[in-house]
Every structure is written in C-alpha cells, then in structure tokens.
Copies of this chain bind each other. A is one copy, B any other.
Amino acid sequence: MSTTASNGIDVAQLIDTIEAIKADPNVGEFTFRARSTWQSGTHSLGEIGAFTHAGEQDHTRVAPFRLEGDEPPVLLGQNNGPNAVELLLQALGFCYAVGYVANAAARGIEISRMDYEIEGDLDVRSFLGLEGARAGFTAIRAKGTVSSPNATPEQLRELCQYVQDTSPVRDNLANPVPVQTSLEIV
C-alpha cells in the first residue's frame, strides 16, 4: 500500500481516516441531507448543504449546492433540470468513480481515465396509476471505462467487483433500504 498521493487521493489521509474509525466507530457515522422546494408543475429547486459527522455538523460548505429538478415536456415538464430518476443514475456513476479511484490509490494503481455510462429502463404506467411494471427502474446497467498505466486487466476487473460490493449507492439500489415518509400540513 502506497502512502503517496495518487489519483488525486490523499492516501495518507485515507489511512488516517480508517485508523480513526477503527479506534472509534462513531467517526464513521454520517447523516446527509437534501431539501427540495416546489416551484410549479414538475419543477422543484434542491439544496444540499451541511451534514452531520460523528454527531457534529460539518461547516466546510460555505453555501449549499443548488440543483434544479424537472421533467421533459413528454412527462409534463419544461426541462428546467434532469428528472429524479436520472439523478439516481448520475449518483451511481459518481459513487462508482469515487470508490474506484480511491481504492485504486490505496493499492498503488494509477488511474488515467474512469468514465461511466449508466442507463435504466422505466415504465411509467405505475406512476400514472395504470397496471404495469413496478414504479421504478426495472433494470439498471452501468458501463465503466478505465485506463491505467500500471495495473493488469485482472487487477482492474477485481477492483470493479470490489467497488460494486462496497458502493453505498449500489447497495441502496440493489438491496432494500427502509424509507420513512411523514407529512406536515400547514
């Protein structure tokens, strides 16, 4: 395992983080948050700001990230932003990339390219109240493209499997997670 920075990942910080969590599992605990404010029709504004780490609020973000969510015209919107299920696919690509390059760095594998194309099949009948397939994606396909100047194909394929096994977003898609929903009427 190399301790020099690799792939833009500070491997020394990565190792320190792992050791800190081994010493106190609470250091591994996060609560993330997102907020959305409906505008009109299928258009909402999103905000992703502070999160909680080990019971304390993180203050490194000076302002929340702002996103727009909307539907295309065929789904009653005006293309002010991607739709919700497209964001789900984007999240999987981002998650896979972080896992791949960080674990590569920890193994001394240099990465020169790491792209993902994610696609998902969705039948909107359930969403529209008709009999049909499940409401969400029936299948998601992720295709990674990787280049490395110093790894074997076997190492790169093994890492792809490792990343699938430890990806938070893949876990939440491939396996059920409890979603508790409440409503306040004001």
Contact = CB atoms under 8 A, between A and B. Distances in A.
Interface of A: 7-10, 13-14, 17-18, 21-22, 25, 28-44, 46, 48, 51, 53, 58, 60-61, 65, 67, 69, 71-74, 76, 79, 81-99, 101-103, 111, 113-130, 132, 134-148, 153, 156-157, 160, 164-186
Number of copies: 2
Given A72-B61, A169-B136, A174-B176, A186 B145 contact: yes
A126 to B, nearest CB: 6
A18 B127 CA distance: 10
B98 A72 contact: no
A8 B174 CA distance: 35
Given A41-B9, A69-B94, A89-B34, A139 B177 contact: yes
Contact of A51 (B86, B113, B143): B86
10 contacts: A28-B123, A30-B121, A31-B122, A32-B122, A69-B94, A85-B95, A88-B91, A135-B170, A142-B182, A145-B184
Contacts of A81: 65
Given A29-B123, A174-B178, A42 B101 contact: yes
A145 B118 CA distance: 32
Contact of A36 (B61, B97, B128): B97
Residue from the set A37, A48, A88, A103 with the largest chain B CB neighbour count within 10 Å: A88
B168 A137 contact: yes
Contact of A128 (B28, B72, B178): B28
Nearest to A152: B185
A119 B179 contact: no
Nearest to A134: B171
